[in-house]
Amino acid sequence: MSSAGRSLSPVEPPSKKRRTTGVDSTANEMAHNGSSNGNGEIDEGLYSRQLYVLGHDAMRRMAKSDVLISGLRGLGVEVAKNVILGGVKSVTLHDDSPCVLEDLSSQFYLSEASVGRNRADASLDALSELNSYVPVKSYTGELTEDFLKQFRVVVLTNNSLEEQLRVSEVTHANDIALIIADTKGLYAQVFCDFGDNFTVVDTTGENTISAMIANISRDNEGIVTCLDDNRHGFEDGDYITFTEVQGMTELNGCTPIKIKVLGPYTFSINDTTQLSVYTRGGVATQVKMPKTFNFKPLKEALENPEFLIADFAKWDHPAQLHVAYQALHSFKSTEGRLPKPWSREDAQKLVTLSKTIKTDTEIDPKTLEWFSYVAAGDFCPINASIGGIVAQEVMKACSGKFSPIYQWLYFDAVEVHPARVSLLTEEETCPTGSRYDAQVRC
């Protein structure tokens, strides 16, 4: 059977493989080399699907990247699971809080026996078993500057705004990628800062395209016409080079030229008036060009946010939720807790706090109120979705492949909530001592 036939999906845990926590020297050697075996080669049987998408170069860069994931509640464990299966060099799990019963609403690597134990320590054994090539360890201390400098990527999932800002100063100054992610009930937030001059070698990951040429004009902006039955498929700003052109042979093997699309069969290039007369033939081929991103640090990005719109039916929601999350941090700082589920009083406090946030956005009280009602909830489907997205951003930061989120992503699924027709009450969603209390709050 071929290696492709034996392949395991990057999201399917190879549970029968050896654990890095054991004494087997071969497993430990593999773990030391990240996703590669003892010879430094990628295990194509295990990573065949991922290799098809990322390529060997990107996988090798990932295999050299150490990742820190802070916060091992429902969202944090989703991120950790996906990153470990993705094949980075190592993963460190961080949490400084003990497991409580409501964590079991969404943290599937904890059990009732875990209550009272540190969440990172309690999750370590199960997460370590997912991929024998990736060593996993836990850390329960403070995120000091020296400790943070060990990592290529830092992910924060359950931290105060003050802690996020402190960590951001360290990571941005030391060219460490920072991803902040949070879920609150039916709402979610993702922030990326990959530093100054972050280079993406391939923004789309798609195969390069080619087009057969019918004519090239001699003009200040030479117009390239493709065969009538062959739409070129290029986009404005693409770079191309030429081969097999007869007559205007100066174009063959030229340095990549930026084009302007004029139609499905035509596009313009540089000045061609000094070139030979085109005779016939030729192929125009797309050239992938690196793209540089300049990320703003968290403090600056909070004041001047740039949003990735996930749902154009809710184009105004990101700006509203950007304010809502800042107001929520203020609420927790002053009250020492999150808003009570479905509390009208706490919802009004959050709306009042939102008016103290510096913003050009006109606040919609209803959006803030609904956010407050479920902010203390924890919903598995939201954690799973955002956990997958964040893990992808970790891979982008490690590999330099695919365009990252720039810089804020906000998501909500309030339309799935049947209670939007008639509001619930505090009494209906009050804690009962059940492991499902965090889901009931939603």
Looking at the fold, whether 121 and 259 belong to one and the same domain comes out as: no
Please list the ranges in the chain whose pLDDT falls under 50.
Answer: 1-32, 38
Looking at the fold, whether 177 and 263 belong to one and the same domain comes out as: no
- How many domains is the chain partitioned into structurally? 2
Looking at the fold, whether 85 and 167 belong to one and the same domain comes out as: yes
Task: Write down which residue in 268, 287, 306 finishes a domain.
Answer: 287
Looking at the fold, whether 169 and 255 belong to one and the same domain comes out as: no
User: To which residue do tokens 């004519």 refer?
Assistant: 215
Looking at the fold, whether 75 and 161 belong to one and the same domain comes out as: yes
Per the structure block, which two tokens stand in for 51?
């290799």
Looking at the fold, whether 144 and 55 belong to one and the same domain comes out as: yes
SS3 180: strand
* Domain annotation covers residue 301: no
* Domain annotation covers residue 349: no
* Domain annotation covers residue 428: no
Cβ(442)–Cβ(186) below 8 Å: yes
Q: Residue 238 is part of a domain; what is its CATH number?
A: 2.40.30.180
* Domain annotation covers residue 402: yes
What is the per-residue pLDDT across 318-340, written as a single tens digit (0 to 9) for each? 999 999 999 999 999 999 999 99
Looking at the fold, whether 224 and 188 belong to one and the same domain comes out as: no
Q: Residue 66 is part of a domain; what is its CATH number?
A: 3.40.50.720
* Domain annotation covers residue 441: no
Distance CA 275, CA 46 (A): 52
Looking at the fold, whether 147 and 190 belong to one and the same domain comes out as: yes
As beta bridge partners, residue 50 has none
Looking at the fold, whether 42 and 180 belong to one and the same domain comes out as: yes
Given this model, what pLDDT does residue 5 score? 36
One-letter amino acid of 171? T
* Domain annotation covers residue 432: no
* Domain annotation covers residue 188: yes
Q: Kind of pairing, strands 90-94 and 266-268?
A: unpaired
Of 340, 379, 395, 373, whose CA–CA distance to 75 is shortest?
A: 379
Of 187, 190, 188, 160, whose CA–CA distance to 442 is shortest?
A: 187
Given this model, what pLDDT does residue 308 score? 93
Looking at the fold, whether 64 and 194 belong to one and the same domain comes out as: yes
What is the per-residue pLDDT across 363-403, written as a single tens digit (0 to 9) for each? 999 999 999 999 999 999 999 999 999 999 999 999 999 99
pTM beyond cutoff 0.75 = yes
Q: What is the domain range of residue 154?
A: 25-202+381-410
